[in-house]
A and B are shown apart, each in its own frame.
Chain A
Amino acid sequence: MDLAGHAPCWLTRRGGYACRACLVEKRRAALAPDGGGGYVTALMNTGSTSAPSGRILSARDLLGVDGLSVSEIAALLDLADSYVELNRRTDKKLSVLRGRTHINLFFEPSTRTQSSFELAGKRLGADVMNMSVKTSSVSKGETLLDTAMTLNAMHPDLLVVRHHHAGAAELLAQKVSCAVINAGDGRHEHPTQALLDALTIRRHRGRLENLVIAICGDILHSRVARSNINLLLKMGAHVRLVAPSSLLPPDAARLGPEIFTSMADGLRGADVVMMLRLQLERMNGAFIPSTREYYRFYGLDSEKLTAAKDGALVMHPGPMNRGVEISSDIADGPQSVIREQVEMGVAVRMAVLDALARNLEPAGEGEEA
C-alpha cells in the first residue's frame, strides 16, 4: 500500500506518516489476509451518514439518547456494524485508542456492562482501569464529586460511569475534562443499551422505521426502557409499552409511545418484543402482587408470544429472571436474540468509545513521527 500518496487523514488532516490513524491503517493493511485495507477502510469511512471529517458525535459526552440526532445514531450504528465483523475475527485488536486512558467508574455493581466496556476499550487499544466504588460511608453527592476531582487529576480520556441516581453522569461531566459515557444513571438513561438493541434489530430487520416494538415489564424503574423509547421513536419505530399500571411512570403516554396494560393487546402484530428485568426488591406486594401472578399475566411465554408477528424478535437486556418475566423455552428459543444482544454490546461500545475519542485532542501527537 502506497502511503506516501495517501490522502490527508480524516482525523488530523495531515498527510502520510505524520498521522497516527494512517499508521493504524498501515498496520492493518499489512495484517489483512487480502493485503488490502478492507474493513479498516470501512472503519475510517463510515459512509454517507458521518461527516467527511470522520466526526460522528457533536457532543463531548454520551450522557443519553436524548442528546443524539438521528444522523448521529445512524452513524454510530454503522460504525458498530463494522466492529461486529472485527470482533468475529481471531485478531480483534486495533489501536484506535492507543495511548488513551479509559476508566470504568461503577457506583453500582455490574458484571455485564462493565466487562463489555472493558473489552471494548481493550480491543481498541486503550488502557482500561476499573473502579468499583462502594457507596456506603460518605454522603453520595460529595463522594461523586470528590471522586470526579481525583479521577480528573489522573487525566483520563474516556470515563464510563454508572450510578444509582439519575443525573449523576451529567453532574460528573460538568466536573471532568474528559469524555463521559453514561453506562446507566438511576432510572434515567442507559444509552449504549439502547444503541445495542437498535443494532440488533437493524441487523435482523434491515431497518428501524415503522417496526412495531413492544417494550414490556417494569418500565417505571427502567433506564433501558427510557433510552429505548427515546431512540426508537427518533428512528421512526412504533413503540408500545406493556405493563401493569403500577409499573408505568405517570403520564407515560406523553413520552410518545402507546400504552397497554395487557400483553395480548400490546403484543398484537409486534415485530419485536423487548422484555425488561423485574428487580427482586420490587416483586412481592409492593408494585406487583407476586412473581407468580406477574408471570401469569406479564411473563413472556409461548402463548402470549403468539399475539406478536410470526418470527418476531425476542429481546432482553439481561440478566433474566427465568419464570418471572420470560419463560426458558422462549429465552432459549429460535426467536430469541438475547445472546446476540451481548455480542452487539461490545461492538456498540467500541463504536461509542471510538466516536468520542475522535472529538478529543489527538493523543500522542507526533510521537510516531
Chain B
Amino acid sequence: MSPVTALTGDPRRRAFVNARLMDPSRGLEGPGGVLIESGRIVASGPQVTAASARADDVMDCKGHLLFPGLIDMCVFTGEPGNEYRETLKSASLAAAAGGVTTMIVMPATDPVIDEAAIVDFILRRARDTAAVRVAPMAAITRSLKGEQMSETGLLREAGAVALTDGRAGVASPRVLRRAMAYARDFNMLVVQHVKDADLAAGGVMNEGELSARLGLPGIPRQAEIIMLERDIRLVELTGARYHAAQISCAESLDIIRRAKDAGLPVTCGVSINHLTLNENDIGAWRTFFKLTPPLRREEDRAALARGVADGTIDVIVSAHDPQSADTKRLPFAEAAFGAIGLETLFSAAFSLHLGGEIPLPRLIEAMSAAPARLLELEGGSLAPGQPADFAIADPDASWKVEPEALRSLSKNTPFEDRVFTGRVIHTVVAGRSVFS
C-alpha cells in the first residue's frame, strides 16, 4: 500500500458475523463473517462465526450486506483553497456515510496539487482530520494549464497515485504525448477528462433537441468522441496507461472496446450521475444537473449501464464536486459544473441493481477492486491480509435524500428528495468503525 493511504490500524481483534458477504475480487458471495486484527483482515468467509472468532469485539450484522470499502476515484474537495465548500474532513464524513473508505482527491485545488509539497500537505491534513483514507492525484501539467508537464516522478514519490488535470483535459496533443511518454516510465496512470474544450467552448449541456428548446448552448457528443479517439492514438504512440475519467456517450463505449480489443492499456470510468440521470432531469434550468461531461440522452444512459455490466467501463465514481450557492444559484449558463455524490454513491448504485440494469457484484467491483487495480492500491477486497476496509449496508432500508441532512458542506445533490432503497449503515476503515 502506498504510504499515502496508510493509517494506523485498530489493534483490536474484531469479528463481524452473520453477514451476507459480497467480495467480487474473489467471486465470494454468501453468508459468513469477517475477522480483523491490527487493521487487517485475518479471515473472511462462512467459517467466521461468533463462536469461532475468539474476538475482543463481535458485531452481529443481522444478515446485512458486507462488501469491500468503496474506492472513489474522483472526488473534488475545497481543501486547500475553498474550505467553505468542502474540507477533507467534511468530505471524508460524507464518504464514510456512503461506504467509501478511500477517496482519491483531484488536484484542482488552490494551490493546485502540482508539487510534491502540496501532495505532502494533503496527506498530512488527511491523516490528521479525515475519517477515511485519502490519496491525491496530481496535475499532469503545472497549474492545470496544459502547457508544461509537472514533476511526475517527485509527485509519485511524495504519494500521488495518478496524474490528471481534473475538470480540464490536456488540449495540446504534443504536450500530452510527452507527458504520457514520461508518465509511462514512472508507471503513472494518466487520467484524462475527455472533452475537447475548443469544440465544447461555451456549451453548458448536451447539445440536442432539449438544449435547443431550453435555449442553452450545447456541448456536442463529438467533443468527447474526438478527444477520446485522439488520446487513444497517443496511447498507441507512447504506451502509457490511460484512463478516461468519465465517459458520457454511447459512441465512447465503442471506442473503448476497440482500444481494449487492440490490447492497449486503456480503461475508463463513468460517474454515478450518468448512470442514473439523463438530460431531461435538468427540467427547468436546474443547475444541480449541470455536469461535465453533461448528462446525455436516455439512450446514452442505458448504454453506459450496459457498458458497466459487460465490463467495458471499468469503474464507477461519484464525481463528488461540492459547489455552494455562490456558484450554483445562478442562471444555468453561468453556474458551475458539478454535483456532490459521496454519501449517495452506494444507494444510487444499488438502485441500478434493483432496477435490474447492473448485477450487484459488478457494481461493487467497479467501485472497489477495479479502482484498486488501476491505481495499484491495496484494498477493494475482503481477502485475508487486505486492509480492514469495508462497509455494511441494509438492502431494505429506504431513505429520502434531504440535502440538509447530508454531511457534505455543500448541498448540491442531484438526488434531492429522491427515495432510495438500500443504505450503508456501518463503515470500517483500518479496523475502526468510522460510521454507524
Name A residues whose Cβ lies closer than 8 Å to a Cβ of B.
Answer: 244-246, 250, 261-262, 284-290, 292-293, 296-297
Tell me if A246 and B154 are in contact (CB < 8 A). Answer: no
From B151, B154, B238, A245 is in contact (CB under 8 Å) with B238
Contact with A along B141-170 (1 / 0, CB 8 A): 110000111111110000000000000000
- Counting CB contacts under 8 A, is B282 at the interface? no
B154: chain A residues within 8 A (beta carbon) = 289, 292-293, 296
Contact of B153 among A245, A287, A297 (CB under 8 A): A297
Given contacts A244-B181, A246-B182, 17 further A-B contacts (CB under 8 A): A244-B182, A245-B182, A245-B184, A245-B185, A245-B238, A245-B239, A246-B181, A284-B148, A285-B141, A285-B147, A285-B148, A286-B149, A289-B150, A289-B151, A293-B151, A293-B152, A293-B154
Our pick among A246, A292, A296, A297 for the contact of B178 (Cβ within 8 Å) is A246
In the assembled complex, the Cα of A182 lies from the Cα of B271 at a distance in Å of 59
- In chain B, positions 200-247 with a C-beta closer than 8 Å to chain A are 237-239
Q: A286 and B148 in contact (CB under 8 A), knowing A292-B154, A293-B153?
A: yes
Q: Which residue of A lies closest to B178 (CB)?
A: A246
Bound complex: CA of A261 vs CA of B151, how far in Å?
A: 16
Q: How far is the CB of B273 from chain A (nearest CB, A)?
A: 34
Residue of B nearest to A293 (CB): B151
Residues of the B chain whose Cβ atoms lie less than 8 Å from the Cβ of A245? 181-182, 184-185, 238-239
Separation in Å of the B31 CB from the closest CB of chain A?
48
Q: Provide the B120-152 mask, 1 if CB < 8 A to any CB of A, else 0.
A: 000000000000000000000110000111111
Q: How many of B's residues come within 8 Å of A, CB to CB?
A: 19
- Once bound together, how far apart are the Cα atoms of A262 and B187, in whole Å? 12
Min CB distance A359 to B, Å, is: 44
- Once bound together, how far apart are the Cα atoms of A51 and B21, in whole Å? 84
Bound-state CA distance A285–B148 (Å) is 4
Q: Which residues of B does A touch, CB under 8 Å?
A: 141-142, 147-154, 178-179, 181-182, 184-185, 237-239
- Write out the residue numbers on chain B whose beta carbons fall within 8 Å of the beta carbon of A292: 151, 154
Residues in B with CB closer than 8 Å to A246 are 178-179, 181-182
Complex alpha-carbon distance, A297 and B238, angstroms? 20
Interface centre among B181, B184, B238 (most CB of A within 10 A): B181
Closest partner residue, chain A, to B142 (CB atom): A285
Whole-angstrom CA separation of A6 from B77 in the bound complex: 91
Given contacts A285-B142, A286-B178, A287-B178, contact A262 B151 (CB under 8 A): no
B420 to chain A, nearest CB (A): 44
Closest to B148 in A: A285
B149 contacts which chain A residues (CB < 8 A)?
A: 285-286, 288-289
User: In this complex, which of A246, A250, A284, A288 has the most chain B Cβ atoms within 10 angstroms of its Cβ?
Assistant: A246
* Assembly CA distance A290 to B184 (angstroms): 17
Q: How far is the CA of A260 from the CA of B185 in the complex (A)?
A: 9
CA distance A296 to B141 in the complex (A): 19
* A285 and B178 alpha carbons, distance in the complex (Å): 9
Name the A residues within 8 Å of B148 (CB-CB).
Answer: 284-286, 289
What residue of chain A has the Cβ atom nearest to residue B238's Cβ?
A245
* Inter-subunit contact A288/B142 (CB<8 Å): no
Closest CB of chain A to B182's CB: distance in Å? 4
| Chain B residues with CB under 8 A of A288 | 149, 182
In angstroms, Cα B88 to Cα A122, docked, is 72
Q: How far is the CB of A286 from chain B (nearest CB, A)?
A: 7
A348 to chain B, nearest CB (A): 34
* A261:B152 contact, CB within 8 angstroms: no
For the complex formed, measure the closest distance between the CB of B231 and the CB atoms of chain A, giving whole angstroms.
17
**A262 nearest CB neighbor, chain B only:** B185
User: Roughly how many angstroms separate A297 CA and B151 CA in the complex, as a whole number?
Assistant: 11
Min CB–CB distance B163 → chain A (angstroms): 11
The interface residues of chain A lying within 8 Å CB-to-CB of B142 are 285
